[in-house]
Amino acid sequence: MDYVSTRCSEKRVESARAILNGIAPDGGLYTPVSLPTIHSSQLTLLRTKSYEERAAWIIGSFLTDFTSEELADFAEKAYSRFDTPAVAPVVRCSDNTHILELSHGPTCAFKDMALQILPYLLTASMKKCGITDDVTILVATSGDTGKAALEGFADVPGTHIIVFYPENGVSDIQKLQMVTQSGENVKVCAVKGNFDDAQTGVKKIFANGDFAAKLSEHAIRLSSANSINWGRLVPQIVYYVSAYCDLLNNGTIREGEKINVCVPTGNFGNILAAYFAKRMGLPIERLICASNANNVLTEFLETGHYNAKREFFTTTSPSMDILVSSNVERLLFEMTEHDGEAVASLMRELNTEGSYTLSAELTERIRSVFSAGYCDDEATLQCIRRYFDEYHYLADTHTAVALAVLDEYRAKTGDDRVTVVASTASPFKFAPDVLRALSDEPCAQTEAAGKLSAISGADIPAPIRDLAGKPVRFTESVEKDDMLAYVTRNLIG
Ligand SMILES: *Cc1c(COP(=O)(O)O)cnc(C)c1O
């Protein structure tokens, strides 16, 4: 299977190269030239398999330059660290609402689904491309990605990882998760600035040719683990197929029955994976994109107008606080039937004007598959309360956005088809806000998880419970102009 950049249909590369490069030389995103298909006979077979086996099969249908033995081994290693053998279990909430729990990995958020397997895909890709250098992953994080990348790359041979986070821009628990990270090959550093400062600093290091040459003398190569890498997207297709198999197995749906999927969305990676699953032939009718007050995608999917020039809100679902959703570019590429020039022109417009508008025809094509909605913080907290009271389901703030949007969609359309809702984080990861939804009593931040456990009867996941006892390993913070010096000092002395 070959991959092309979303901005030019000419240059094709194999999957190992696409994963190694991350972003295409023309600034576009690697996307498969054609999509593999899932026939009902294959679903019948996958129904009998474990999550790891389903993963190896589906990932293998995209990464054709990897052997099935390699992928089985990677999937086994990556998903053995999850706290349930189901890996991504589907939990029944009501007859037609089923929650796909993606937060059973080591950091209790859905980024683990891809970042636990990416290190294996990346190191194998390097070997396939004949590169023997060590790879150093540089990450600027606003919270969840940094920790998930640290957990994924910690002690993976041939790799190092350095994570920069904004000194005052992450939550206490997110910071604690990062500065207590174990592993001989990890470094975590605060930046005196906001997330944009950290991100800009990392981009500058990537763009520094002299530095790359110097690293190359020491047999080191830089790479990124961000969500535009195809190696992060493909493991996310797996759990939609897996959820469908599970719903067949427990008798919720009949063979061939179409379901809807509702996803709390930020960078558009998770819902795009569901779209690819649909295109492969998985019986999905509609994709419902849920946003918080940063509702740029709601407007875009409904009207074809993408407008990033709007007020930015900090919400109780911070992992969805995004105005430029990178993976929309892949959707445009698919919807224009791989018209790289059209995509490049829209992305140029977004870059220079901060907005673009699709043709009526293209907008209609998107609307025929996607629905969209959004809700504010107050509605989010109300939704947490309602689902707990009515179904005894404890949702985190991100998942609650999706549930609220789904309820509204059903009321508006009357479409009450069986729906899989992606749950992207453990409620204990956002305990203070979730608790606020359930109880009026004031509570200290540090006690929130314990109190939430007492009220709900659910156990605090081990990775969060054990944080308090862990030694802090990283206390350094640097000025934003000193990030390069920090990387140099830590990589080549
Ligand atoms: C990253 C993240 C999202 C958004 O997912 P995208 O693939 O970026 O759309 C939603 N919820 C949580 C908890 C996340 O960490």
Alpha-carbon span 265 to 97, nearest angstrom? 18
Strands (E), 129-215: 134-140, 159-166, 186-192
Residue nearest to atom 14 of ligand 1 (CA): 319
For 27: left if phi > 0, alpha if psi spans -120 to 50, otherwise beta; the answer is left
265 Cβ closer than 6 Å to some ligand 1 atom: yes
Residue nearest to atom 15 of ligand 1 (CA): 319
Residue 130 CA, ligand 1 centroid: distance in Å: 33
6 Cβ closer than 6 Å to some ligand 1 atom: no
pLDDT of residue 171: 80
DSSP assignment letter at 29: B
List of residues 6+ apart from 217 with CB closer than 8 A: none
110 Cβ closer than 6 Å to some ligand 1 atom: yes
Question: Which residue, 12, 18, 20, is CA-closest to 126?
Answer: 20
Question: Which residue, 90, 14, 96, 15, is CA-closest to 54?
Answer: 90
pLDDT of residue 8: 83
Residue 266 CA, ligand 1 centroid: distance in Å: 5
160 Cβ closer than 6 Å to some ligand 1 atom: no
267 Cβ closer than 6 Å to some ligand 1 atom: yes
pLDDT of residue 478: 97
Residue 227 CA, ligand 1 centroid: distance in Å: 10
Alpha-carbon span 485 to 254, nearest angstrom? 59
Out of 170, 315, 320, give the residue to mutate to test ligand 1, the one with the largest number of ligand atoms within 8 Å of its CB.
320
CA distances, 413 to each of 98, 383, 417 (Å): 19, 19, 11
181 Cβ closer than 6 Å to some ligand 1 atom: no
Task: Return the H-helix or E-strand segment holding 21.
Answer: helix 15-21
pLDDT of residue 493: 83
109 Cβ closer than 6 Å to some ligand 1 atom: yes
DSSP assignment letter at 293: S
Residue 489 CA, ligand 1 centroid: distance in Å: 33
**Which amino acid does the sequence have at 21?**
N
269 Cβ closer than 6 Å to some ligand 1 atom: yes
Residue 456 near residue 426 (C-beta atoms within 8 A): no
- Torsion angle (degrees, nearest 10) of CA 299, 304, 309, 311: 0
pLDDT of residue 225: 86
- Please identify every residue annotated as catalytic: 111
CA distances, 469 to each of 184, 236, 281, 464, 465 (Å): 19, 32, 47, 10, 9
Out of 319, 326, 397, 421, give the residue to mutate to test ligand 1, the one with the largest number of ligand atoms within 8 Å of its CB.
319
pTM of the model: 0.95
Task: From the CA of 111, give the closest atom in ligand 1.
Answer: 15
Residue 41 CA, ligand 1 centroid: distance in Å: 32
Residue 357 near residue 348 (C-beta atoms within 8 A): no
Residue 354 CA, ligand 1 centroid: distance in Å: 22
Q: In what order do the strands lie in the sheet with 2-5?
A: 8-14, 2-5, 30-32
pLDDT tens for the chain, residues 1 to 493: 999 999 986 689 999 999 998 888 888 999 999 999 999 999 999 999 999 999 999 999 999 999 999 999 999 999 999 999 999 999 999 999 999 999 999 999 999 999 999 999 999 999 999 999 999 999 998 778 999 999 999 999 999 999 999 998 788 888 999 999 999 999 999 999 888 788 889 988 988 999 999 999 999 999 888 888 999 999 999 999 999 999 999 999 999 999 999 999 999 999 999 999 999 999 999 999 999 999 999 999 999 999 999 998 989 999 898 888 999 999 999 999 999 999 999 999 999 999 999 999 999 999 999 999 999 999 999 999 999 999 999 999 999 999 999 999 999 999 999 999 999 999 999 999 999 999 988 888 788 999 999 999 999 999 999 988 899 999 999 999 999 999 999 999 8
